[in-house]
Structure 1
């Protein structure tokens, strides 16, 4: 299944539109995104294959999606651990962390030790708005993910990848090719370089909005928030 992609510029514009004329709050969009991520984990890593999930979160909305996913994973019966070294003071993110602490979900500052004791990793460090240099403490984290044999699900983008141009030729993300990717709302142009399993998630687009941005709405089934699709090379 080939789906048209959404550029970083159009992704930002779409988010603004969803939160204005679309009447969605950022909380709603993050909740739906995190729910989609949690369902992708369930597909990739059924509980019987291992319940320990390490969720690596960055300081932006991608990290917020990871926090939501961790909460849902706990309710599914997994044992999530959250790595969240740069926690914003924004009220939304603080509420998300409080929800996890109320469930006794552990937070760790020792990423290598947590990586050595997990069955699966959710890479929710950087999303479609990432550009520029990877800053501490994330270079070592991304290198560890690239070198590890633990399967990784990247949220919207493998961290350090450029949304338009794909993986970096050098630096901490060079050679980072996660086992799976979940594109939120729509695939981004970087899927041209991605070689693993690919999911699309986020069931909230109206037909009018999808048509405006020339997006394909995947044929989600039943209550599923995700669908597995092939990678493709089209670009908006």
Structure 2
């Protein structure tokens, strides 16, 4: 069973429909995405293997997913640290930051210093809507994600990858292959270039919505919000 991939335009249309006829709010979708990310971290790297998790967040919804994931990781027994140099201006992002601050979750000003004191990394900088040039302060961060020996989980897309083409041929993301990738709702075309462990997250689509977008979703085990699949979508 091959899972259909969604390009940026179609993924955006699906999100918009989920928030229209689907009845979801952006807050709900972000909460479900972040919960899925946190469960993937727990499966890949339980706290017993090292509880320090550094979450690199961008200014958009991908970064919001990372903030939600960090809150769940805190409650799962991890010690998350957030790198969030360009904070989103929307009220939603401000509330997510407040939630983390109320839990005394640390916000790091310097990614490279924080990297020296972590056991696992979550790349939530750029998602499926990314295009164009990687701008400061993220080029050196993406280079560090590429070069580190610490395992990395990327959220929806390895940051700096083109959603259709995959890894860039030049620039800070050249050669970046994270240990794991979690695709949210459905994989994106770039997944065919990915070589690590691949998870699908987002256990909320109705049968009608999945059929409309020709998404053949594999069954999720038990109460999990994630399912591990290969790059062709076969359940592992």
TM-score bucket of the superposed structures, by smaller chain: over 0.9
Q: Deviations over 1:154-212 (max 9, x none)?
A: 00000000000000000000000000000000110000100000000001101111011
- Using the TM superposition, give the Cα deviation of residue 24 of structure 1 relative to its aligned residue in structure 2, in angstroms: 0.2
1:62-211 pair list within 5 angstroms = 62-211=62-211
Name the counterpart of 1:35. Answer: 35
- Say whether the 8 Å CA contact 1:6–1:215 is kept in structure 2: no
Residues 1:44 and 2:44 are matched in the alignment: yes
- Using the TM superposition, give the Cα deviation of residue 89 of structure 1 relative to its aligned residue in structure 2, in angstroms: 2.0
**Aligned-partner Cα distance in 2 for 1:114–1:231:** 32
Q: Which runs of 5+ in 2 are unaligned?
A: none
Q: The residue matched to 2:218 in structure 1 has which SS? A: coil
Name the counterpart of 2:232. Answer: 232
- Using the TM superposition, give the Cα deviation of residue 2 of structure 1 relative to its aligned residue in structure 2, in angstroms: 3.2
- How many residue pairs match? The answer is 234
- Using the TM superposition, give the Cα deviation of residue 232 of structure 1 relative to its aligned residue in structure 2, in angstroms: 2.4
Q: The residue matched to 2:99 in structure 1 has which SS? A: helix
- Say whether the 8 Å CA contact 2:155–2:182 is kept in structure 1: yes
Name the counterpart of 1:212. Answer: 212
Q: Which runs of 5+ in 1 are unaligned?
A: none
Name the counterpart of 1:56. Answer: 56
Aligned alpha-carbon RMSD (Å): 1.2
**Aligned-partner Cα distance in 2 for 1:187–1:31:** 19
